[in-house]
A and B are shown apart, each in its own frame.
Chain A
Amino acid sequence: MEELIRVTNLIKNFPVQKSVLDMLFSGKKQQYVHAVDDVSFSIGKGEVLGLAGESGSGKSTTGRLLLRLLEATSGSIFYDGRDISTIGKEELRRLRMKMQVVFQDPDSSLSPRMTVGQAISDPLRIQGLASGAEAKRRAIQIMEQVGLTPAEFLYRKYPHQLSGGQTQRVVLARALVTNPEFVVADEPIAMADVSVRALILELMKQLKREFNLTYLFITHDLATAKYLCDRIAIMYLGRIVEIGTKDQVFRTPHHPYTKALLQAVPVPDPKERRKDALPRGEIPSAVNPPPGCHFHPRCPFAIDPCRSGRPPLRELSPGHFSACILEP
């Protein structure tokens, strides 16, 4: 498969804010949150890569770095073979036509003072693609494609006059109006109701086919990830601990953290209730992550070598990598 996105050795550290007293009197070294800690992966054209993990795993930060909504501390991002980690503002703006994003909360992603039509046609104006009647025609067209009908009627509405499912469709329409190739969807359904979630997921699947899209789908919900994604990367404290095809990760998980996550996913079937024990504790702070494999303090299989040195991602079978030193 042809590659659309390649990320190599991506790192993002956020400085921890020090109090005034600390700055004046203590010689304490500046501390950092290691949000993304040397992450590499690629996404093929037309592929859906799921980035899954718990809160604080660095999955959203990774998504933002990819779009350069945040600047990486180090590392490179290639889009269609071209290094975009250092390109200038103007070039970046033009590139954003091809790379779009959908966030979690549609209500805070839309300006309450812009009509649906304005919101959707705005990217066309910013990119200089269309204006006036032509922009409206294209906005109406995309609205129909995402199921915002009757489009002419909804075009004049404000976000507060729409239902939750409709506002998320507006956000999708706005992302797709410039005809992008790549969409980062950061928990696009986390705030929605059960039936709205199903509608949005189905719509995303359909749009992917129609527009030949490539997605980075960021989620904490593995059941949803399994439903939509071709490949999955599992993140823990800023690192990818396992990556592979959907079948490799879900059917033959290797990393103990992946296994724990899979066990914890509730199953909508009372006949299949979980009986296994769960890992102890919660995800530790990314300011002082445990040395060695970050998961070792919670891992039931941890051995001495796990406590020092970063375990490398090993290829277990073609395309299936795990950062655990234990034999499968």
Chain B
Amino acid sequence: MEKTILEVKDLSIDYPISIGTVHAVRNVSFTLHKGEVLGLVGESGCGKSTLGLSFLRLLRAPGRVAGGSIEFEGRDIMSMKTEELRLFRGNKMAMVFQNPLTSLNPLMRIRDHFFETLKVHNVFTNRTEAEKKAGDVLERLGIDRQRLHEYPHQMSGGMRQRIMIGLGLILDPEILIADEPTTALDVIVEATFVDLLKLLKEEYNISIILISHNLAMVAEIANRIAVMYGGKIAEIGTAEQIFAEPMHPYTQGLIGCVPNINVDQESLVSMAGSPPDLVVPPPGCPFADRCPKGMDICRQKMPPMKEYRANQQTACWLYE
């Protein structure tokens, strides 16, 4: 196995609000290896986006890390000083958000977006050099460098999403965090985007955390997948394990919910009920109330996260 580049230990994130505290992420631990794509999947409200923001310390108030640590190559991100953090962002780890329409400034040419990024990170020397650098990145992403001089509205949705990736890549980061990068894209454009991520991983050995609710898209590219539910990781394993031999009943249900174009399905799995209230999280497994195999102990005590099969960890009392 490749070496660990990011290690998250026992991380908890809270949002104190008027009616109490939302425990959005609870005691999450996992590692990201160099050069792998880790899929972070789950439904809305499971904590996946909050988790993604915390890696770059981008949580918005009142969100705060309530415990645990995030280590990048042994350095604790949580304890970085402002200047150190600024240099860490972009240079070591970059993020691509969901909506390229709202993330690009309509009044700025594409090249100025790149210049701004370079300037903020103190690596802007002169226009000619910066333009060459930005052009090189665009070409890597399959966009003609002439388009640097255009405005965002002159580009298609797929191209804008690639520009976003380009802005993330210009400083040559080691980790790319992509939060629902294809939600606004059409099928063929989404597939092209997945190909692009594959290319980045294979040719540039970038580690990618891909946050998405689209399991089929994640299945196309992820090496490993972490399934989140109710602020916790329910199961983590290789993509093959998660799809072929899921252990956690939530993972099993989630996989069974997805229509597969290559299979004639008679029916889909129906998971009744809704996710737990994270202001007063249940003491036991968050999925217990909806779980077809739920037992008494599931409602009382949180099951430990254990590696029951090689590389596959799950938190479920069924296996204890």
Contact = CB atoms under 8 A, between A and B. Distances in A.
Interface of A: 54-55, 163-165, 193-199, 201-202, 205, 220-224, 226-227, 250, 260-274, 278-279, 282-283
B162 to A, nearest CB: 11
A76 B257 CA distance: 39
A199 B195 contact: no
Interface in B150-194: 156-159, 186-192, 194
B136 interface: no
Given A165-B274, A266-B219, A274-B220, A261 B268 contact: no
Contacts of B253: 195
A268 B255 contact: yes
Contacts of A202: 267-268, 270
A267 B43 contact: no
Contact of A54 (B43, B186, B254, B259): B186
A250 B259 CA distance: 14
A222 B187 contact: yes
Contacts of B267: 202, 205
Interface residues of B, number: 46
Contacts of A201: 259, 268
B44 A193 contact: yes
B297 interface: no
B156 to A, nearest CB: 5
B188 A54 contact: yes
Given A198-B269, A198-B270, A282-B156, A271 B261 contact: no
A267 B188 contact: no
B191 A194 contact: no
A74 to B, nearest CB: 29
A267 B260 contact: yes
A99 B159 CA distance: 39
Interface stretch (B118-126, B238-246, B278-286, B298-306): B238-246
Contact of B243 (A220, A223, A268): A268
List 6 A-B pairs, minimum CB-CB distance, nearest first: A198-B257, A266-B216, A264-B191, A270-B239, A54-B186, A198-B268
B27 interface: no
Contacts of B257: 194-195, 197-198
B291 interface: no
B118 to A, nearest CB: 29
Contacts of B194: 266
B128 to A, nearest CB: 31
B213 interface: yes
A303 to B, nearest CB: 22
Given A195-B254, A222-B187, A271-B240, 7 more contacts: A55-B186, A205-B267, A223-B261, A227-B265, A260-B188, A264-B190, A268-B215
Given A264-B187, A272-B262, A194 B213 contact: yes
A270 B216 contact: no
A282 B189 contact: yes
B222 interface: yes
A194 B261 contact: no
Given A165-B274, A193-B213, A265 B269 contact: no
